[in-house]
């Protein structure tokens, strides 16, 4: 196989990983990537975005070529905090290879994929002599693991304003549960967060008739929401689920009935619902139960993201075939798991996701097999060759 020796995917991964780019810090990661891409002919734009009550975030959009179609690789160089650093067997930003495994924060999620974007692009450009009809672009944010306010969404808005249209996008998030080639993501469930508060009145526990304890009312509302059967799933999506993540009173006294009690829940939902219809369902349930138990409540809804599905077709088939040809395994086309920045990209073009194995992402001793990183770059190269054939 003809490889461009100027970009070694493992070495570039290690160089990116030594940058402690915990959201929102860039720590030089985008500088490393920009320098690499400019050497192979990419035109790079650094995009710093700001918003109220959120940190400024640096982003990168890079493009080789000017013609359509524009194939876009999308991902992020920011990483989550390391947690208990003393629990790591190697320094979380030392990027150490031991027995064929690369250890460090960002190995799986997702600096190896970002390096593979660059390495595969360089190989394809070299193999084609730069003579192909179309463009290759990279959309890289430093805000995927954080608030996701000053990252991909704003880069896409900037691109639209500046005439930068993308035709298909591959996101490099880790998609494989246990081994390479198992899974491609063609959609994601939506996310809805609810902040529920029940309002009563405080009082002495010895005189409950002079107070209105919100805790029993809250538990009644929680029980009602927990029993909701939102749907039974669909051909591509599992059933929607509502999960409570915390219940809080904040009462430090043992002899005082509190005034308020709160609970937070998150719903991961499929295409049977929208954010608005889901909110209507939740409020209808709460209204009915609160009326029966004479509870006063408030609900604040955080509408995180809508669900989406990229219909199976030429693009998903191209990606799946490239994986099967390299690894001998036909991947499942799945919508399982959490969310990603694909939820923004799907508004602009068809998007699928394929990356490394995700078992160690966000964990102590995050790692990736070196062989898997090299295979990922090979698969991305094959996808480019098939796309521009």
Determine the Cα angle at 26 with ends 21 and 28, to 5°: 95
Query: Where in the sequence numbering do the catalytic residues fall?
Result: 78, 144
Q: How many CA atoms lie within 13 A of 3 on its CB side?
A: 15
More confident site: 147 or 211 = 211
Distance CA 107, CA 112 (A): 6
Distance CA 351, CA 167 (A): 9
pLDDT at 5 over 50: no
Q: Which DSSP category does 236 fall into?
A: S
- The pTM of the whole model exceeds 0.85: yes
Strands 135-141 and 70-76 turn out to be parallel
Tens digit of each residue's pLDDT (9 = 90 or more) over 297-326: 999 999 988 999 999 999 999 999 999 999
Determine the Cα angle at 151 with ends 147 and 152, to 5°: 120
Q: CATH: 3.30.70.141, 3.60.15.10, 3.40.50.10490, 3.40.630.10. Which one for 9-188+307-387? A: 3.40.630.10
Q: CATH: 3.30.70.270, 3.30.70.360, 3.50.50.60, 3.40.50.1220. Which one for 190-305? A: 3.30.70.360
Tens digit of each residue's pLDDT (9 = 90 or more) over 200-227: 999 999 999 999 999 999 999 999 999 9
**Phi, psi angle pair for 160, to nearest 5°:** -60, -45
Tens digit of each residue's pLDDT (9 = 90 or more) over 77-117: 999 999 999 999 999 999 999 999 999 999 999 999 999 99
The token pair that represents 124 in the structure block: 């394809």
Residue-range domain boundaries for the chain: 9-188+307-387, 190-305
Residue 242's beta-bridge partner residues?
267
Tens digit of each residue's pLDDT (9 = 90 or more) over 222-236: 999 999 999 999 989
* pLDDT level of residue 3 (50, 70, 90 thresholds): very low
Distance CA 294, CA 348 (A): 47
Give CA torsion, residues 212, 218, 220, 221, to 10 deg.
130
Distance CA 11, CA 14 (A): 5
Q: What is the pLDDT of residue 332?
A: 96
Average pLDDT over residues 123-136: 96
């Amino acid at each position: 196989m003809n490889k461009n020796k100027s970009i070694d995917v493992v070495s570039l991964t290690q160089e990116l990983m030594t940058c402690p780019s915990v959201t929102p810090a860039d720590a030089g990661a985008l500088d490393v990537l920009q320098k690499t891409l400019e050497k192979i002919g990419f035109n790079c734009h650094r995009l710093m975005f700001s918003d109220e009550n959120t940190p400024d975030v640096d982003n990168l959009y890079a493009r080789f070529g000017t013609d359509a179609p524009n194939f876009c690789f999308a991902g992020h160089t920011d990483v989550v905090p390391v947690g208990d650093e003393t629990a790591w067997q190697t320094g979380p930003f030392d990027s150490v290879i031991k027995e064929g495994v690369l250890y460090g924060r960002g190995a799986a999620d997702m600096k190896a994929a970002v390096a593979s974007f660059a390495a595969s692009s360089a190989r394809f450009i070299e193999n084609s002599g730069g003579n192909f009809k179309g463009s290759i672009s990279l959309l890289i944010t430093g805000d995927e693991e954080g608030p996701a306010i000053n990252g991909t969404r704003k880069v896409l808005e900037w691109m639209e304003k500046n005439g930068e249209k993308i035709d298909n996008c591959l996101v490099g998030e880790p998609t494989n549960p246990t081994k390479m080639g198992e899974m491609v993501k063609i959609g994601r469930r939506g996310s809805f967060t609810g902040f529920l508060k029940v309002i009563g009145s405080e009082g002495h526990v010895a005189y409950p008739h002079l107070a209105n304890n919100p805790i029993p009312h809250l538990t009644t509302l929680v029980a009602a929401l927990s029993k909701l059967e939102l749907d039974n799933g669909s051909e591509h999506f599992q059933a929607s689920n509502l999960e409570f993540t915390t219940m809080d009173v904040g009462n430090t006294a043992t002899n005082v009935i509190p005034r308020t009690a709160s609970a937070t829940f998150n719903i991961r939902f499929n295409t049977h619902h929208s954010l608005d219809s889901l909110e209507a369902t939740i409020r209808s349930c709460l209204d009915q139960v609160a009326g029966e138990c004479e509870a006063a409540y408030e609900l604040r809804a955080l509408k995180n993201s809508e669900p989406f599905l990229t219909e199976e077709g030429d693009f998903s088939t191209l990606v799946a075939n490239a994986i099967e040809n390299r690894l001998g395994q036909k991947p499942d086309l799945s919508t399982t798991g959490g969310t990603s920045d694909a939820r923004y990209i799907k508004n602009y073009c068809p998007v699928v996701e394929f990356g490394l194995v995700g078992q160690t992402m966000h964990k102590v001793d995050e790692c990736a097999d070196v062989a898997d990183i090299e295979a990922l770059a090979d698969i991305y190269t094959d996808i480019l060759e098939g796309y521009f054939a």
